[in-house]
Every structure is written in structure tokens, then in C-alpha cells.
Amino acid sequence: MILVNTLARSIYRLKGKMKSIPLDPTTVRQPRGFTWGVSTSSYQIEGATQEDGRGPSIWDIHCRRPGRVARGETGDVACDHYHRFAEDVGLMRELGVGAYRFSVAWPRVLPLGRGQPNEAGLAFYDRLIDALLTAGIEPWLCLYHWDLPQALEDLGGWGNRACATWFADYASLIGRRFGGRVKRFATFNEPAVSTLFGYGFGWNAPGLSDREALLRTTHHVNLAHGRGVDALRSAVPDASIGAIHNRQPCRPGSPSIADEAAARLLDAYWNDAFPDPQILGRYPPALAGLMEPYQQAGDLDIIRRPIDWFGLNHYGPIYTKADPDKALGFAWTSAPNGAAHSEIGWQIEPEAFTQSLLTVHERYHLPIHVLENGYGAPDRPDESGAINDQRRIDYLATYIGAMRDAIQRGADVRGYFVWSLLDNFEWGSGYADRFGLVYVDYPSQQRIPKASFQWYADLIRRQ
């Protein structure tokens, strides 16, 4: 079947009918041992923000700042996963995934961010992990998906160098508690997004637009990664550890020299500012000078720690324009008119996914797990109550085909996780943008698998 698909694509290319025809992923088998999964994160699904001793996170506070989140929505209830996790694990079992990536809410297990752990919070993750293992689903635990304890923010947060040590202590707690049952750990999810959006553009918590804070924070998050890897390794000697980074083309909004320069700097920040020091032991040249004031002797040796895999999140290309008023001199801008895009305006370009996978492979020489890829839309049930999200299916099929292209061209891709299992709290957009394979009717908390759920289940079953 692989041969037939390859042949079909070549014929199309030769005829010049289209640049690339995606493989039909339902007919292509992945290499043995390939992991199919789904991803979520704590603040986006758990809810129960004030239950069982959880402390506030920077997102609880951010959501209450007027104008920061659409319609003033919050993660207070979200998908109520804290109470409904067993149903959600049941959905994953139905889906047939081999793995589930979730994150631990740091303030749920350490309400003050450090010091006395909260047994009730730890016990929630015990229950979740046990349910996953019983269902035959491997837990992939991410330590940080943006919900820093507010108590640490009050001490300077990521701007305080000590935050790297607090993070390592938290990592050690998690490793000691769960390391007997969990072997896959990620330190951070998309540190480029949480820092740039949180300290550069002010869109995400803690809502700052401050160049100095952004650069300082960047370095401290990198230090925390290195210290966190060490803490996990000593707590769980047989752990398989990675970090999760975005990579996508960063393009100028216009051909002007200023916008071209903005795109180069965004590229250095978005794609390289975290994986380069963590894996290669250096900041990208475009940022090295800017990062110097925040470094102490030996820091890069702390940051660069052997890891076992590269977690890649990819959606589509992003665009920027020069803006001297912004923290790094660039602002966000939209894709050119006419570019294929999703219902929430994100550009669709599967070739960029293939290229990103190949670049990661060539640059870092690590096994790659795609830990996020997915399609956002304002899905609604039709008159019969079904959610026919054909465009999501098309997107996923095309992108899985693009991943397959990268594998055939040598990229060592070992897993693919859809973002996301459930519709959930989409940060500044609130609940309007839905990425789930499962529709969540928020008022009733009813879960309704979408057409894409069945499609993904079929794909997995055929592997």
C-alpha cells in the first residue's frame, strides 16, 4: 500500500497537477511501535480550581483582568475533568490511543509552588494515572503547561532565577511520587509561547509586555529545564525525558526589509531560543547578544542536558511585521490573502509540517514525537445532535500524510498526538475555538464524540 501511495503521488507530481498530494493515512501503516495519542493540559480541562487545596495559578488571576480573555471566561470549571476524568479515560480507550499526554497543575500539588505538598492534589493524579494504566494507555506527563503558582509569581515568577530551583524541586516531587508508574516526562510545553505571549505581548499570563522581563524569563525557563531534567533523572533513573517545542515557518507580512528582519528574529525566538540551548548548548546567533546579560558562568552547561526525544508541536506558518513598540521589535500579523486557512484563521500548509519535521531531525538528531497537531473551529452540533467536522478530518488526514512524507525522507518520527482529546479552554479565546475530537457541551458537560473521533479511531485500528 505504501508503494501504491508513493506511486500515486509521484504521478501527480510528474503531471504537475499539484505540488504534493497527501498520502491517504488510513491506508498507510506507521513503523512498528509508532504511538498514536491525544494531548490536553491541566488548566485547559481540569476546572476545580478552588477544590481540595489547589492554590491559584497565574491564569486564575489573568482571566480576571478585564479584556484579557474573550467574554471574561475562565478555567474555573473548564471540562470538569477533575471530576470526570474516568469518563474521559473511557473515551480514550474507545478511541484506541496508546498514549495520553497531560500536564500536572503545579499549584494543585504545591499550592504555594514550593514547600508543603498537597496530598489531595497528588491523589488526583494517582487516580488519573491508575485509570490510564488500567485502560492500557501510557501516561505522558508534562510538568509545565503555563499554570505557574501565583505564590511564585508574587516572588518574581520566572523573572526570579530561583524559579529554576523551585521548578527542580517540583520535578523531583513529581518524579518520586509517580515515577514508578510514569516513565515519559516532558519538562515544558511550548516555552516560546508562554514567554513571548506572557512577557512580550501581554496576551497570556502574567500579562506583561516588557523586553527585559521577556529575555530574563527566557533564560530562567531554560535553566529550569536543565535543572528539571537532572531532578527527574535522579528520581526516575529509567525515565524517558524530553521537552515540547513549537516549530513552524516564521514569515514576513510584507517583502519590506524591516519585516524580513522581524521574521528572522521571530524565527530565532520562536523556533530556536529554547531547543538550541537545551540540546546544542548555545543560543541562536540572532539572540546570543541579547541573552548575555542574564547568564552566569556555566549556565549553558546546566541547560544542556542529554534528553531522549524532541516533542514537536506544529499547526501552520506564522507571520510577523516590524513594530518598534513591541518587546522584541516585531508584532503578529495575518497570513496573506488567499492562503488556505482553518475556520479560526490559522494557515494550512502541510508541506511546512514535513519541512519542520525534517529540520528538527537534521538539527537535533533526536527521535521526534509530534505532541500537538490539530484543527480549531467553532464546531456546533447539527439538528440531529451530531458534529460533522469534516474539515478537521481533512486537516488531520493531510497533516498525517505530510508527517508520513517526512518519515519517508528520513525523519525519525515515533509518535503523533492530536490536540486535543476534548474541546477546552483556549486561553485568550476562551471557549469559542474548539480543537477537540470530542465536543464538550459546557453547560451540561456532556461529551459528544465528533466525526473526527470515529475517523481517528478507525485510523488507529487499521495500524
Which one of 147, 153, 389, 426 is in contact with ligand IFM (CB under 6 A)? Answer: 426
Residue 222 binds ligand IFM (CB under 6 A): no
Alpha-carbon gap, residue 91 to 356, rounded angstroms: 31
- Least distance from ligand IFM to the Cβ atom of residue 43, Å: 9
Which one of 313, 347, 354, 355 is in contact with ligand IFM (CB under 6 A)? Answer: 313
Closest CB to ligand IFM among residues 294, 319: 319
Q: Are the C-beta atoms of 143 and 186 separated by less than 8 Å?
A: yes
DSSP state of 437: S
Alpha-carbon gap, residue 22 to 350, rounded angstroms: 8
Q: Grid coordinates in use for 55?
A: 492554590
Closest CB to ligand IFM among residues 80, 190: 190
Residue 419 binds ligand IFM (CB under 6 A): yes
Burial label for 17, CB within 10 Å (0-12, 13-18, 19+), is: exposed
Within positions 2 to 61, which residues make up the interface with ligand IFM, using CB under 6 A? 41, 44
Q: Indicate the SS3 state at residue 152.
A: helix
- Least distance from ligand IFM to the Cβ atom of residue 309, Å: 18
Does residue 420 have a cis peptide bond before it, meaning omega lies within 30 degrees of 0? yes
Q: Are the C-beta atoms of 378 and 327 separated by less than 8 Å?
A: no
- Least distance from ligand IFM to the Cβ atom of residue 138, Å: 20
Residue 299 binds ligand IFM (CB under 6 A): no
Alpha-carbon gap, residue 108 to 101, rounded angstroms: 18
Closest CB to ligand IFM among residues 41, 150: 41
Residue 190 binds ligand IFM (CB under 6 A): yes
Which one of 153, 299, 372, 423 is in contact with ligand IFM (CB under 6 A)? Answer: 372
Catalytic residue among 46, 73, 153, 372: 372
DSSP state of 182: -
- Least distance from ligand IFM to the Cβ atom of residue 195, Å: 13
- Least distance from ligand IFM to the Cβ atom of residue 79, Å: 13
Closest CB to ligand IFM among residues 358, 377: 377
Burial label for 462, CB within 10 Å (0-12, 13-18, 19+), is: exposed
- Least distance from ligand IFM to the Cβ atom of residue 249, Å: 16
Closest CB to ligand IFM among residues 23, 371: 371
Alpha-carbon gap, residue 395 to 326, rounded angstroms: 33
Cα 289 to Cα 92, 191, 215, 282, 285: the distances in Å are 46, 20, 11, 11, 8
- Least distance from ligand IFM to the Cβ atom of residue 204, Å: 10
Closest CB to ligand IFM among residues 193, 261: 193
Closest CB to ligand IFM among residues 28, 312: 312
260 is catalytic: no
372 is catalytic: yes
Burial label for 322, CB within 10 Å (0-12, 13-18, 19+), is: buried
Residues contacting ligand IFM: total by CB under 6 A: 8
Please spell the DSSP secondary structure of 12-28, one letter per residue. HHHHTS-S-PPP-GGG-
Dihedral pair phi/psi, residue 438, rounded to 5°: -120, 130
Residue 269 binds ligand IFM (CB under 6 A): no
Catalytic residue among 46, 73, 153, 190: 190
* Binding positions for ligand IFM, rule: CB under 6 A: 41, 44, 190, 313, 372, 419, 426, 435
Catalytically active residues, by annotation: 190, 372
